[in-house]
Chain A
Amino acid sequence: MPRIRRELYNKEICACSIFGAMNQSGERFNGAGVMKAIANMHVRGNGLGGGFAAYGIYPEYKDYYAFHLMFTGKSRQDKLSAKAELEEFLARKFDVVYEEEIPHRDESTVSDPPLVWRYFLLPHKHGEDEAISDEDYIVSKVMWVNTKIENAYVFSSGKNMGCFKGVGYPEEIGEYFMLDRLYQAYTWTVHGRFPTNTQAWWGGAHPFSLLDTSIVHNGEISSYGTNRWYLEMYGYACTLQTDTEVIAYAADLLMRRQRLPIEIVARVLAPPIWNAIDRMNDSEKKLLTTLRMVYGPLLMNGPFAIIIGQTGRMIGLTDRIRLRPLTAARRGDMFYLSSEEASIRLISPELDRVWTPNGGEPVVGELNNMRTVLQ
C-alpha cells in the first residue's frame, strides 16, 4: 500500500461579527441597511475578510444554478488559464445559460482581487450521473472544481441567491460589488472577519455556501478534525481551510440529503448535555440519545454563533453552552439576527421584540408564503 502523506491543512481561526436581516413577507430590499449595520461592528473584524449572502437576487434566472467563481493566481494570465479550464469543464457538464463578470468598482479600492464571474447553469448529465439528483450532481461538480482545478473556486452555487465576499472590511466588499445599488434580496446575511493565524485570501472569507445554503459564522470549532473526517466519508471535500466549511457541509448533509427538520439538526450540531437528556421523558430521551450516538461526530464543539441562510429561511444557532453572542429581533415583517443588538437598533430603532436565544436553541425566520420567491 502506498504511504498516505499526513495532511498539513491549516485550520483558520477567527473571531467575527455576523448580521442577518430577512423580510418574511418576501419583499426585497437592497444591501445598504445591512452594510450600515455590519459597519457598526467594525471593531469585531480586522479588515481581512467580509462577505454577504443574498436571497432572491436573480428572479430572472431563478430556475438556474447560479455559480459564482473566483479565479485567483499571481498574474492575470494565471487567472485566465484557470477560467479557461473551468469553462472547458462547464461546457462538458452543464448548459451555460448566461455568463458575465460580476460587476464591481475600481479594483484599486480592495487588495489583490481575484477575477470573479458568475454562470447560470443547467445540469447536463451523462452516463452514471444520470441516476443522481440535480442537487447531488451540483455538489459533486462543486467539489470537483474546488479540489481539481487549481486557482478556481466555486463559492456560491444556489438558485436565485448569491454570495459576495473578499478580503477587506465587509462594508468595503459591499461597496466593491455595489450591493447597495445592484441587488434586491429578501434575506441578507453578512460577515465581518477577524482571522488570527492565516494569510488572508478571498476564498477564505465568509459566507460559505453550497447549493442554496450559506453560513456566516463567528467562532472556532474545536471538533474540526472529527467533523471533517465524518463529512469526508460522505463525499464532502474540505478544501477552503476553514472550520466554517464543515458547518455548511453538515447542514447540507443533514438538511438536504437527510431531510431532517431544523429542530433536529440543531440537536445534532448543539445537543443538550447528557444530564438533561437523562431527565427527559422516554421518547425524547430515546430520540436524543440516538441522535448523539449516531451523529456524535457532527457535534460542533467549541464556541460558535452562526446564521444559516436558505431559500425562504434564516436560522440562528449558538453552541450548546453559548460561548458566542447572538441577538434576535423582530419588527413587523422584519426578522433580524446580530452579534450585537446595537447594529439592529441602528437600522431599526423601534423593535417589537428583542431576545437572546438559549445555547443550542435554533431561532428560525421563514417566509410567510414560500410562493413569493418560488413563482
Chain B
Amino acid sequence: MKSFVFPEFQIIRDEQKCGQCRGCERQCAFGTHTYDPVADRLISDETKCAGCQRCVIFCPKHAIVIRPTPSFYRPNASWSREKLDDLKKQAETGGVILTGSGNDKPFRIYWDHMVLNASQVTNPSLDPLREPMELRTFLGAKPDLMDISSQEGVVSINTPLSPNLMVETPVLFSAMSYGAISYNAFRSLATAACKSGTYFNTGEGGLPKEMRQEFGRCAIVQVASGRFGIDAEYLNCSAAVEIKVGQGAKPGIGGHLPGEKVSELVAQTRMIPQGTDAISPAPHHDIYSIEDLSMLITALKEATNYEKPISVKIAAVHNFAAIASGIVRAGADIIAIDGLRGGTGAAPKAIRDNVGIPIELAISSLDRRLRGEGIRNRCSIIAAGGIRCSADVVKAIALGADAVYIGSAALIAMGCTLCQKCYTGKCNWGICTTDPRLTGRLNVEIASQRLSNLISAWSHEIAEMLGGMGINALESLRGNRDHLRGVGLHEWELDVLGIKGAGE
C-alpha cells in the first residue's frame, strides 16, 4: 500500500563538503543513507530518517543538516499534522501507534512557573565554596518518636529503626531495564551510581548475574508484574527492592519489550526464551487490592530479612494520593511517583500522551496528604517524570519530595536525542538497543563518566541554590514551600501546589 505520510525530516547534504566517506551510511541503523557507486555520491531516503542526529554529529566534514520538513498540510488548528499523520498510519496498518520517551505535548510545565527564593540582608546567604553544604539524604521509613536513654553518659537508641538508603545527592537513576536499554547503557548507569554515591534502578528486566556482586550495593531491584529475572539472590544482592505498579508514561498497562530486543543475554537475565516479546501484564496478578499489595510487601521484607527498604512505584493519576496513603499504611518504606512526562522504551502513543497528571502537582498533593494524616515520616517520596535540570530537583524537594529519579536526563547525558524511536531497537546511539553492532558504540567508561559528571554538576548547582536561600542542609528545604512562588498560575494551581504567587 502506498503510504500517504510524507517524511518528517528533510536531509540536506552539502555536496561541496561531502567526502563520500560513507560514515553516515554506517552510522544509520535505519538505512537512511546509501552509497551510489556509479555516481560516487551518497543518497538519503528521508522516509527512513528518525531525526536522531547521529549522522550529523559524526560527519567528519559537517556536511549534513537534518531539519523538520518544511512540507505541510493546509494548517488547521484542530487537525494538526501529527493528528493527520497518525490517522493515516493507522489507516495503513490497523495497529496501535507505538512510541518511545516521554509525553511531548504542551501540557503546562509547572517547573517553569515556579521561582526560588534567596536571602537578602536579614539572613545571610551561604557560600558553598567556603561553607559546608549538605545534600545527604536518607530514604526509608522514620519512626514517629525516638526513645533514647542515657546512662552514665552512654546514650543508647531503643527504638527499632527501619532500613534506609543513604544517598549523597538527592538524584537517583530511574528504572530502565536491561533489554529496553543496552547492556553498556545499563552498566554505565550502575557504574556511575556507585561512583557518585547514589543508586540505579534495574527496572523490570533483572540484574545480570555477573553484575550482582559489584553493583548490587547501589541497585534498587524491581519486582514488576512480569516477574522477569527474580530470584532470591537478585533480591538480596540489592540495596532496596521496588514493586513497580505503574509507570508515568503508561499508567494502567505493563511493560513492553519487543522480541527483536530479546537477545540471548537478555533472555537469560529475564529467564524467558530468546526472541519472544516480554509483555508484562497490566496489573500484578497477585495484587488486585491494597491488602494484596500489603502481602507482597511483607513477602519481600521476609525474603530480604527486613534489611532492605521496600519501595512501591506508582504512576501519578487522579486519585493517587489516597492510594499512596494506603500504600504507606500497607508497609512501603518509599513511594516512587512517576508523572505525566515520565519516559518509556515503548508505549502506545495514545496512552503516553493522555494518561496521568503532572508530577509537580502530584508531589505537592501527596506530601500534603501524608502530612495531613500524620504519616509523612513513615515513608520517603521519590519523584520521577520530567526532571530536566538541577532547579527542577530543588523545586521538587521544596514541594515535598525526598529525592528524584531521572531517566530521560540520564539517557540524554549518554547521547540520547529523544528521537522517540526506542521501541524499534535500532538506536543509533547504542542506548536503546540490543544489536551488538550498535551497543558497541556506547563506551561504558565514557558514558559512566558523562553520567557522573551530570550528577556532580547538578549537585554543585543544588548547593549554590540552597546556599542562596540561606540553607546548608537539604533536609531543611524538604516541603519548605515558603521558598517557592508561582508565576502565571491560576488560583487553583497555586492551591494544589500550596505556594503563594510571586509578590504575595
Contact = CB atoms under 8 A, between A and B. Distances in A.
Q: Do A and B belong to a common assembly?
A: yes
A229 B479 contact: yes
A286 to B, nearest CB: 8
Nearest to B375: A233
Contact of A290 (B131, B161, B477): B161
B452 interface: no
A296 B170 CA distance: 15
B371 A233 contact: yes
B314 interface: no
Given A290-B157, A290-B161, A6 B476 contact: no
B476 A301 contact: yes
Contact of A6 (B134, B154, B480, B497): B497
Contacts of A301: 470-473, 476
A13 interface: yes
Interface stretch (A59-67, A147-155, A220-228): A220-228
Nearest to B126: A321
A351 interface: no
Given A6-B497, A261-B150, A299-B475, A225 B376 contact: no
Among B143, B398, B476, residue most surrounded by chain A Cβ atoms (within 10 Å): B476
A375 interface: no
A225 B479 contact: yes
Interface in B135-164: 136, 138, 142-143, 145-148, 150, 154-155, 157, 161, 164
Given A264-B155, A323-B124, A225 B475 contact: no
Nearest to B147: A258
A273 B472 CA distance: 9
A172 to B, nearest CB: 24
Contact of B504 (A8, A223, A293, A297): A8
Contacts, number: 132
A11 B136 CA distance: 27
A264 B164 CA distance: 22
B371 A226 contact: no
A260 B148 contact: yes
A94 to B, nearest CB: 27
Interface string B408-428: 000000000000000000000
Contacts of B499: 6
A275 B481 CA distance: 28
B495 interface: yes
B475 A321 contact: no
Contacts of A292: 475
Interface string A186-201: 0000000000100000
Given A8-B500, A293-B138, A224 B480 contact: yes
B164 A3 contact: no
Given A226-B475, A229-B479, A295 B495 contact: no
A299 B142 contact: no
Interface string B458-501: 00000000000111110111111111000000001011111110
A130 interface: no
A294 B482 contact: no
B368 interface: yes
Contacts of A3: 492, 495-496
A270 to B, nearest CB: 11
A7 interface: yes
Contact of B123 (A222, A225, A320): A222
A15 B157 CA distance: 37
Contacts of A4: 368, 495, 498
B377 interface: yes
Interface in A99-144: none
Nearest to B372: A4
A98 interface: no
Interface string A271-297: 001110000000100110011111111
Contact of A222 (B132, B148, B471, B478): B471
Contact of A233 (B121, B132, B376): B376
Nearest to A276: B132
A302 interface: yes
Nearest to A300: B476
A255 B248 CA distance: 44
Interface in A306-334: 320-321, 323
Given A229-B371, A301-B471, A302-B470, A222 B504 contact: no
Nearest to A235: B374
Contacts of B154: 283
Nearest to B145: A258
A226 B476 contact: yes
Contacts of A303: 123-124, 470
A5 interface: yes
A229 B480 CA distance: 8
Interface in B109-135: 119, 121-124, 126, 131-132, 134
A114 B480 CA distance: 33
Contacts of B123: 13, 219-220, 222, 302-303
Interface string A1-29: 10111111001011100000000000000
A287 B477 CA distance: 23
Contacts of B495: 3-6
B119 A273 contact: no
A232 interface: yes
Contacts of A234: 374
Given A222-B471, A258-B145, A11 B482 contact: yes
Contacts of B483: 222, 225
B500 A290 contact: no
Contacts of B481: 225
Nearest to A227: B476
Contacts of A11: 482
Contacts of B377: 230, 233, 294, 297
A274 B480 contact: no
Contact of B469 (A222, A286, A320): A222
A287 B498 contact: no
Given A225-B483, A264-B155, A297 B471 contact: no
A233 B400 CA distance: 14
A293 B471 CA distance: 17
Contacts of A261: 150
Nearest to A287: B155
A229 B148 contact: no
A297 B478 contact: yes
B462 to A, nearest CB: 15
Among A14, A286, A294, residue most surrounded by chain B Cβ atoms (within 10 Å): A294
A293 B142 contact: yes
A196 B500 contact: no
A215 to B, nearest CB: 18
Contacts of A290: 146, 157, 161
Contacts of B142: 293-294
Among B138, B480, B497, B500, residue most surrounded by chain A Cβ atoms (within 10 Å): B480
A221 B135 CA distance: 19
A191 to B, nearest CB: 16
A264 B121 CA distance: 31
Contacts of B498: 4, 6-7
Given A222-B469, A225-B481, A13 B475 contact: no
Kindly list the 3 A-B residue pairs having the minimum CB-CB distance in the complex, ordered from nearest: A296-B475, A223-B476, A225-B480
8 contacts: A6-B500, A225-B482, A230-B376, A273-B132, A286-B157, A294-B161, A296-B473, A320-B472
Given A229-B479, A293-B138, A303-B470, 12 more contacts: A6-B494, A220-B123, A225-B483, A226-B476, A226-B480, A230-B376, A230-B377, A275-B132, A286-B157, A296-B138, A296-B478, A301-B472
Interface of B: 119, 121-124, 126, 131-132, 134, 136, 138, 142-143, 145-148, 150, 154-155, 157, 161, 164, 322, 368, 371, 374, 376-377, 398, 469-473, 475-483, 492, 494-500, 504
